[in-house]
Amino acid sequence: MARSARTRREKRDAPAQQDLAARARERRRRVKAVGETKAQTGQKRERRGGARQFVGESYAELRKVEWPGQRQLFSASVVVIIAVAVVGLFLWASDEVFSRLVRDVLLNR
């Protein structure tokens, strides 16, 4: 009984699959050849200058940067060193607490 239902379903779906394949062939036939590539905004892409232009533009951008002075650099370095020390101390304390918890409570040693 189930076999006849399966064959009926296959017979019913066969024309639909042929129709899908025919529509896909028609869609591929209507596709036009690709011309020049465009950016996402629809503008034509222009050829870039390469490594020399990249270095020149990078140098120009670095000239615009406001570089920190000696006093600002020193204070920022001190802040980073203190933050690293605080986080390191916290991680060390957490490691000690959890290692004792695992050793004494979970492993019963």
Residue that wins the pLDDT comparison between 7 and 67:
67
Look at residue 97 and tell me whether its pLDDT is greater than 80: yes
DSSP 5-60: HHHHHHHHHHHHHHHHHHHHHHHHHHPPPP-S-B-TTSPBP-----HHHHHHHHHH
Q: How high is the pLDDT of residue 3?
A: 57
Taking the domains of the chain in order of start, what are their residue ranges? Answer: 69-109
Q: How high is the pLDDT of residue 68?
A: 93
Structure confidence by residue, pLDDT tens digits, 5-57: 556 655 566 667 778 888 888 887 887 666 666 666 766 666 667 889 999 99
